[in-house]
Amino acid sequence: MTHDEIILQLRQQSAERLEQLWRQADQCRRQSVGDAVHLRGLVELSNHCSRRCSYCGISTHNADLTRYRMNADEVLQCARDAVRLGYGTVVLQAGEDPSLTTPWVSALIRRIKDETPLAVTLSLGERSDDELASVREAGADRYLLRFETSNRALFDRIHPPKAGQSSSDRVAILKRMRELGYEVGSGVMIGLPGQTWDDLARDLELFGELDLDMIGVGPWLPHPQTPLARQAAELMAPTEQQVPNTELMTYKVVALARLLCPRANIPSTTALATLNQQGGRELGLQRGANIVMPNLTPLKYRQLYEIYPAKSCLAEEPDVFDAALKARIQLIGRTVGAGRGDSPNISGRRSSGGHADSRKDEEMYRADTLLDAVQDQKERG
Ligand code: 5AD
């Protein structure tokens, strides 16, 4: 797909053409990663943050917010919940909290690895090469760090550097993670004030260039306690250039990400479910996504991790949400994934020397696709 073709798809209005895009993305998802929807248990372990990102509700701008940090026992309890609910992965997410030191995070990962079979994904913001190497050594399998936008000027505007430091280079950090053997995930926000069609098409191209194993995208949702929400009107690009932060745009980006990176793991994100509480999550899964990240954060902390307002599932008990989610996955003709759900992308890359788990997963994935093909044949008679 050329840059101009991507823009054309992003700006597509024809209902018929869009149906075609959804069908293509769904077919590509089925052929490349199968019908299983893998579930990742999300633990938001601290809302402390040392950064001043102008879009984010837990940045230092938000002086009104009560801050919390979970202790290791609380996190372990969430990991046990993940195992009990049959999830293969726990995602440890937090603001850029300097108190989550490398020794503390490493000890936590070791405990999770000792006590559970879970894959561990980290989403702890920008970390130095040494820190990334140490936590990888402790057993972390994957790392999520969205580059947010490929437009450097826009990125610098919404993501001011730490005092006395130069602006961060998230693409370089992602490349470093790859060298360290992480499964690497990134993504962007859609409809940031000042984000143009050209920028968003470039974002999608960068997903492909980075050969991402995981891609998470969601609409920018204005949080009233942030500078970006207050200044949005002045920062908008000219109307014909500005990307809207809508549900429809999000599906288009999910579908195109699938077509450009067929074997990536792509979640149907909470931000999408926030825009359409009834059916957003399912529509994401039917238009390219293959992952859901149920929130396992203890309810007493959950409303304090408000990166954007009215976040979906603020008050939902993990067990209640889980039962409904699994039923909904089956209702749309999909299966609930078993095992760790490693990226088929990285299993391919690791073809020799990969550890036993990913080889087993790869075999299960092949069997899954084979069964799908047989089922297809039967249906066609
Ligand atoms: N709207 C939508 N997404 C947001 N994020 C942070 N703030 C917002 C917001 N206001 C996303 C960023 C970040 C991820 C954890 O959440 O993309 O990387």
Quick: pLDDT tens for 173-198.
999 999 999 999 999 999 999 999 99
Cα 40 from Cα 88, distance rounded (Å): 7
Residue 167 CA to ligand 1 center (angstroms) comes to 19
| Mean residue pLDDT across the chain | 92
% of the chain beyond a pLDDT of 70: 91
pLDDT at 291 over 60: yes
pLDDT score recorded for residue 352:
41
Report the atom number in ligand 1 closest to the C-alpha of 187. 17
Closest CA to 90 of 142, 148, 50: 142
Cα 110 from Cα 98, distance rounded (Å): 20
Residue 55 CA to ligand 1 center (angstroms) comes to 7
Give 377's pLDDT tier (boundaries 50, 70, 90): low
pLDDT at 275 over 50: yes
The two structure tokens encoding residue 33: 């990663």
* Nearest-5° Cα angle at 26, 25 to 29: 85
What's this model's pTM, rounded to 2 decimal places?
Answer: 0.91
The stretch 348-367 carries a mean pLDDT of 51
pLDDT score recorded for residue 204:
98
Nearest CA to ligand 1 atom 18: 146
Q: Please name every residue paired with 214 in a beta bridge, in sequence order, or none if there are none.
A: 185, 265
Query: What is the best residue among 225, 307, 312 to mutate for testing ligand 1's pocket, by most ligand atoms within 8 Å of CB?
Result: 307
Residue 364 CA to ligand 1 center (angstroms) comes to 33
% of the chain beyond a pLDDT of 90: 84
List C-alpha distances in Å: 48 to 130, 170, 231, 266, 299. 22, 20, 24, 27, 17
Q: What is the pLDDT of residues 138-162, one digit of tens each?
A: 999 999 999 999 999 999 999 999 8
Crossing angle (nearest 10°) for helices 356-380 and 15-33: 130
Token match 């020799």: residue?
Answer: 352
Ligand 1 shell residues, CB under 6 Å? 55-56, 146, 148, 189, 218, 220-221, 223, 271, 307-308
pLDDT score recorded for residue 153:
96
3 state SS of 178: helix
Residue 216 CA to ligand 1 center (angstroms) comes to 10
Cα 198 from Cα 153, distance rounded (Å): 14
Closest CA to 69 of 91, 110, 100, 41: 100
pLDDT at 367 over 90: no
Nearest CA to ligand 1 atom 3: 220
Burial bucket for residue 278 (CB in 10 Å: 0-12, 13-18, 19+): exposed
